[in-house]
A = this chain, B = another copy of it.
């Protein structure tokens, strides 16, 4: 069965995402408890940063494994993978 570049670090990615889920629930509690707007904004920026770090490490593994593998095999698949990665970076930069 084919697995992707991030497979070896799956547990570490899941732990990261669970921390992010916890941070989002923390934001909900802040809103429920009428926390100060600026404190909510500071926490939101922290979640954004954590999500970007997750995305960057996912992308790094994708380039290292999936894209590198496809490029080594050559052909049309290689082109598709590179275009896909490029588009994903563009979405990330604009998100």
Chain A residues at the B interface, C-beta cutoff of 8 Å: 3-7, 10, 13-14, 17-18, 20-21, 24-25, 27-28, 31-32, 34-38, 40-42, 44-49, 51-52, 54-56, 58-64, 66-68, 71-72, 74, 78-79, 82-86, 88-95
Contact = CB atoms under 8 A, between A and B. Distances in A.
Contacts of A14: 28, 31-32
A21 B18 contact: no
B92 A63 contact: no
A90 B59 CA distance: 10
A3 B31 CA distance: 11
Contacts of A83: 60, 64
A9 to B, nearest CB: 10
